[in-house]
Amino acid sequence: MKKINLILIFFMIGFTLMSKPQLPEILSDGMVLQQKSTVKIWGKSDAGKTVSISTSWGVENKSAIADNNGNWLVMIETPEASFTPYSITISDGEEVVLNNILIGEVWLASGQSNMEMPLNGFWNNPIKDANDVILNAGQYPAIRFVTIEKAQSFEPLETAKGKWQVSNPENAPQFSATAFFFAETLHKALNVPVGIIVSAWGGSKVEAWTNREILNTYDDVDLDEETVNKLHPMSRPLLMYNGMIHPITNYKVNGFIWYQGETNIGAHEVYPDRLNNMVTLWRELWEDSDIPFYYAEIAPFEYGEGDWAAYLREAQFDAQKLIKNSGMISTNDLVEEYEKHNIHPRNKTDVGKRLAYMALNRNYNFSQVEAHGPEFASMEIIDNKAIISFDHAHNGFNRFDDIVGFEIAGEDGVFVPAKARVNHLKVEVYNENINKPTAVRYCYRNFMIGNLANTRNLPVVPFRSDRAVN
Same domain? 72 vs 148: no
Q: Structurally, how many domains does the chain consist of?
A: 3
Same domain? 443 vs 299: no
Same domain? 414 vs 277: no
- For residue 12, tell me if it sits in a domain: no
- For residue 398, tell me if it sits in a domain: yes
Of the residues 363, 394, 417, the one at which a domain ends: 363
- CATH code of the domain covering residue 95: 2.60.40.10
Same domain? 424 vs 323: no
- For residue 470, tell me if it sits in a domain: no
- For residue 290, tell me if it sits in a domain: yes
Q: What are phi and psi of 401, to 5 degrees?
A: -130, -175
**Secondary structure class of 325 (helix, strand, coil):** coil
Contact by Cβ (8 Å): 347, 341: no
Same domain? 300 vs 381: no
Same domain? 317 vs 184: yes
- For residue 8, tell me if it sits in a domain: no
Averages of pLDDT over each 10 residues, the chain, 470 residues: 44 48 97 98 96 96 96 98 98 96 98 98 96 98 98 97 98 98 98 98 98 98 97 97 98 98 97 98 97 98 93 98 97 96 97 98 97 97 96 94 96 96 95 95 97 97 81
Same domain? 94 vs 111: no
pLDDT at 305: 87
- CATH code of the domain covering residue 269: 3.40.50.1110
- For residue 156, tell me if it sits in a domain: yes
pLDDT at 468: 61
Which residues have CB under 8 Å from 350's CB, separation 6+? Answer: 181, 331, 334
Tell me which amino acid residue 273 is. Answer: D
Same domain? 381 vs 256: no
Pairing assessment for the beta strands 256-259 and 293-296 based on DSSP bridges = parallel
pLDDT at 14: 37
Instruction: Tell me the H-state helices in 18-57.
Output: none
Distance of CA 307 to the CA centre of its chain: 25
- For residue 275, tell me if it sits in a domain: yes
Of the residues 53, 73, 101, the one at which a domain ends: 101
Same domain? 257 vs 379: no
Rounded Cα–Cα distance for residues 312 and 294 (Å) = 16
Question: Would you give the DSSP letter of residue 297?
Answer: P
Rounded Cα–Cα distance for residues 397 and 60 (Å) = 56
Of the residues 101, 125, 149, the one at which a domain ends: 101
Element containing residue 386 per DSSP (H, E):
strand 385-391
pLDDT at 12: 40
The domain of 229 spans 104-363
Same domain? 89 vs 173: no
- For residue 369, tell me if it sits in a domain: no
pLDDT at 467: 87
